[in-house]
Amino acid sequence: MKTATLETDRLILRPVSLDDAPAIQKHFNNWNVIKTLSTAVPWPYPDDGAFCFLNDILLPSIARNEAHSWAIVIKSNGDELTGLMTLRLVPDADGTHRGFWLAEPFWGQGYMTEAVCAVHDFAFNIVGMDKIVVANAVKNIGSRRVKEKTGAKYLGRCEIEHHEGGSKAELWEVTKASWSEAKKKLTY
């Protein structure tokens, strides 16, 4: 299935492309963005990190129908990618279906919660997924909070090595029912 462009009040989520490599390189190459991410992400971030990730890993997995991935565009900020959202139909090595990050200047304004809402509607209503398994480093309070606001139910601790040190992580599951319930009370 083709990745649809999704629109919310403040965001456009459009299918990511190789043209987004420079914006990913600019915003993702930031210790504050990467420090709580899995050590599968290279650090120091190579000069061609974004291009290689798109060209060798993400775009091929989309072509194999194993994932959908969107450039997160903030309408008031022009057309530039300011974050990335990936929904994996085939879970990664940690058993999870979703990954996201946002450029640091835009944190704390509800943007990722808003993006997740659009992706949950797409996942459950269009793709027909029955659950989305997600995880975050224990220290990643912002990511945990996005999950709590968008219907994720805590399953327990898991181990994912991340850059800041340690491997303590939290595992969650979102179902169509838990998302419907959360959506009723959601303000970004």
Ligand X SMILES: CC(C)(COP(=O)(O)OP(=O)(O)OC[C@H]1O[C@@H](n2cnc3c(N)ncnc32)[C@H](O)[C@@H]1OP(=O)(O)O)[C@@H](O)C(=O)NCCC(=O)NCCS
C-alpha–C-alpha distance, residues 176 and 29, integer Å:
34
In the bound complex, what is the minimum distance in angstroms from residue 177's beta carbon to ligand X?
22
C-alpha–C-alpha distance, residues 126 and 105, integer Å:
32
Q: If binding is defined by CB under 6 A, does position 102 make contact with ligand X? A: yes
Asked whether 168 and 135 are in contact (CB, 8 A), the reply is no
Q: If binding is defined by CB under 6 A, does position 107 make contact with ligand X? A: yes
Q: If binding is defined by CB under 6 A, does position 108 make contact with ligand X? A: yes
Size of the site for ligand X (CB under 6 A): 20
Can you tell me which of 140, 151, 170, 178 binds ligand X, judged by CB under 6 A?
140
Contacting range for ligand X; rule: CB under 6 A; set: 57-65, 66-74, 84-92, 140-148: 140-148
Task: Map residue 175 onto helix, strand or coil.
Answer: strand
Please give the single-letter amino acid code of residue 62: I
Q: If binding is defined by CB under 6 A, does position 41 make contact with ligand X? A: no
C-alpha–C-alpha distance, residues 54 and 155, integer Å:
31
Q: If binding is defined by CB under 6 A, does position 136 make contact with ligand X? A: yes
Torsion 130-62-57-148 (CA) sign: negative
In the bound complex, what is the minimum distance in angstroms from residue 163's beta carbon to ligand X?
11
- Given its phi and psi angles, is residue 187 left (phi above 0), alpha (psi -120 to 50 degrees) or beta? beta
Nearer to ligand X, 1 or 155 (CB): 155
Q: If binding is defined by CB under 6 A, does position 61 make contact with ligand X? A: no
Report the interface residues with ligand X, using CB under 6 A.
33, 36-37, 100-102, 107-113, 136, 140-143, 145-146
